[in-house]
Amino acid sequence: MIRGVWVVVPAAGRGTRFGSETPKQYLDVAGRPLLAHTLQALFAHPQVSGAVVVVGENDGDWAACDLLVDGKFDGKPVLAAVGGATRAASVLNGVNALPGDVRADDFVLVHDAARPNLGLDDVQKLLDRGREDMVGAILAAPVRDTLKRAGDDGGIDATESRSRLWRAFTPQMFRRLQLTKALEDAGKAGIEVTDEAMAMERLGLRPLLVEGSEDNFKITTPADLARFKFILSQKQDSQRT
Ligand code: CTP
Ligand code: MG
């Protein structure tokens, strides 16, 4: 039997680039907070067993959005943990809050609260490929635009090769204990890792790149939110017809 996986969902950011009063993960989209869409996308996969949502300290928005019924969302358990000053600190707190029956060598997923448009096929692909890798795997996509290196004056200094360059997405999938150690180690070294893979790479480990859909974009600016709302409305239209 395949063991289910737990997910850590960092949702303790302030959304500075988005610029709204309410952090982006709590903004209403089609009648529910963005975070609910993200949990729904994750829990749609039968092998996802539960989630630790990492929220800000005294996060009134989390309390107010009241997503859980008897500690569950869509019938699966959700625990809350308190976030830290950086994404990595938040993720580490989340991993530490995983239930005790998630074993040291069990794979866990980490998925941004701000990526609500994750598809079931991508979760399946990541789980399938990641389980075959000793270290784990991340969803990512090759860079498609031409890359320019800017000079101080805003002029172009050079065109960089994009071959072998990928954009890292989430979910990212690692074993509980190794991920804990990698995040702790980066923290102690004072290095701010911007994703889990980077923490693993620092220890000489080489996570697998699994090509995921571009649809799994991160909501960073209001334009991204408008795109997600449009996608949702199209899905609803196609369900109606
Ligand atoms: N996050 C977190 N704890 C932090 C910082 C970020 O849990 N200290 C979470 C965010 O809530 C988000 C995910 O990490 O779901 C990805 O981060 P990002 O998109 O950068 O969100 P913010 O940090 O909130 O946005 P910004 O960088 O624009 O401030
Ligand atoms: Mg951020």
Helices (H) and strands (E) in the chain, counts: 7, 12
Nearest ligand for residue 24 CA: 1
Quick one: CA torsion of 56, 218, 233, 230, rounded to 10 degrees?
120
Indicate the top mutation candidate among 26, 87, 92, 194 to test ligand 1's pocket, ranked by most ligand atoms within 8 A of CB: 87
For residue 196, how far is the Cα from the chain centroid?
10
Give the per-residue pLDDT at 238: 87
Backbone angles phi, psi at 6, to 5 degrees: -90, 155
Task: Give yes or no for residue 46 having a pLDDT over 80.
Answer: yes
Quick one: CA torsion of 157, 162, 163, 167, rounded to 10 degrees?
140
Mean pLDDT of the chain: 97
Task: Give yes or no for residue 241 having a pLDDT over 80.
Answer: no
Give the per-residue pLDDT at 190: 97
Interatomic CA distance for residues 51 and 53, integer angstroms:
6
Any ligand 1 atom below 6 A from CB of 113:
yes
Q: What is the pLDDT of residues 166-216, one digit of tens each?
A: 999 999 999 999 999 999 999 999 999 999 999 999 999 999 999 999 999
Give the nearest ligand 1 atom to 9 CA.
Answer: 15
Backbone angles phi, psi at 15, to 5 degrees: 70, 45
Give the per-residue pLDDT at 3: 85
Biggest CA pair distance of the chain: 59
Domains of the chain listed by start with CATH number: 5-138+168-240 (3.90.550.10)
Q: What is the pLDDT of residues 133-163, one digit of tens each?
A: 999 999 999 999 999 999 999 999 999 999 9
This prediction has a pTM of: 0.97
* Stretch 53-65: mean pLDDT: 94
* Stretch 99-120: mean pLDDT: 98
Tokens found for residue 178: 């190794």
